[in-house]
Amino acid sequence: MPIDAVAEPAPLQSLDLPQPYLLFLGDVQHPAFAKTAFGLRDWAPERCIGEYALPGATVGLGLTQMDPGQAHAAGARALVIGVANVGGVIPAHWMPALLDALSNGLDLIGGMHTRLSEVAPLREHAQRHGRRLIDVREPPADLPTGSGRKRSGKRLLTVGTDCALGKKYTALSLARAMRALGIDATFRASGQTGLLIAGRGIPMDAVIADFASGAAELLSPDAHAGHWDVIEGQGSLSHPAYAGVSLALLHGSQPDAIVVCHEPGRTELLGYPGYALPSIEETIDLNLRLGRRTNPAIRCAGVSLNTSQLDPTQAQALLDSESARLGLPVADPIRGGASLQALVRACLNDPG
């Protein structure tokens, strides 16, 4: 039976989130660990009213600095924990700030592995002040195991040489660029920041391992032949801690195309000193070899480089040289331009 519209499976129901947000940065000292806050600032700026950091923080968003009382007076309705630290924990020294937010009329939204609702002082304080604790890193119930069944429609998965180097931004940018060309494309969120931006998705790293590939299958359901699901990747197949979720997402997504994301200049895995970053070529080869298990026709469409540390001239020179070296389109999706258009055409398998 022909599919006339893109299916939305039951687990992808929209999140009910109070807005606008005050973005909480804790005492973060590396921008990569504030990726949730940066993602919301860059992709949902209309929902962000200000930022709130603790003493010792060295990362800022460029938004108005406010405490919870000031933010509530300015119209904020929730404080979002904008930090994605190793292990997804809520440190004890954050508690006074989080309790203060509840006291000042803000709900709390978290995407940590530690659930807000599991922290007794937060739960008791929220009840006392009539506030909500909203955990978005909550997978749907009754997930199936992976089936390996081929689904209709087209799929693109962003993969990486490491964590926190642009897989989400690349997927969002490619989906937007495809829609600008008149292609029916949907961004599929697989992490807490993507869920907060898109309002729906499945937090893959919170799914029980046996059901992770099944969750990835639900994330991108059957669709009509011309539709593209652009799926946010997670982790890296070469990561000593997070390779499992990367593999489950690769097998369950059954991507027709992958785009490899990389940050030039990064030599070790973020937060894992002593673990060398794999090369782009190694990452392409590993993803294609493992991806063929569920889609023998998988291909690498190109490479996405995070050139935010370079000036425009240096960035373009690097994009051009890497494209020539690899024989693939190479772009920085945030910079856009002709390089991005070439990458989009390669994703669509359109020679232009």
Tokens of 338: 């002709």
Domain ranges of the chain: 18-135, 154-347
d(CA 87, CA 104): 28
Q: Which CATH class is domain 18-135?
A: alpha beta
Q: Dig out the tokens for 301 from the structure.
A: 């469409």
Three state DSSP letters for the chain? CCCCCCCCCHHHCCCCCCCCEEEEEECCCCHHHHHHHHHHHHHCHHHEEEEEECCCCCCCCCCCECCHHHHHHCCCCEEEECCCCCCCCCCHHHHHHHHHHHHCCCEEEECCCCCHHHCHHHHHHHHHHCCCEEECCCCCCCCCCCCCCCCCCEEEEEEECCCCCCHHHHHHHHHHHHHHCCCCEEEECCCHHHHHHHCCCCCHHHCCHHHHHHHHHHHCCCCCCCCEEEECCCCCCCCCCCHHHHHHHHHHHCCCEEEEEECCCCCECCCCCCCECCCHHHHHHHHHHHHCCCCCCCEEEEEEECCCCCCHHHHHHHHHHHHHHHCCCEECCCCCHHHHHHHHHHHCCCCC
Letter string b/e over residues 159-177, b meaning 16 or more CB atoms within 10 A of that residue's CB: bbbbbbbbbbbbbbbbbeb
Q: Give the per-residue pLDDT at 3.
A: 37
User: What is the number of other CB atoms lying within 10 angstroms of the CB of residue 220?
Assistant: 29
Pairing of strands 299-305, 330-331: parallel
Tell me the mean pLDDT per 10 residues along the chain, length 352: 44 78 95 92 96 95 97 98 87 95 97 92 96 93 94 98 95 97 97 93 95 97 96 97 97 98 96 96 98 98 97 97 98 97 95 64
Residue 5 has what pLDDT?
45
Determine the pLDDT at residue 87: 79
Domain at 154-347, CATH class:
alpha beta
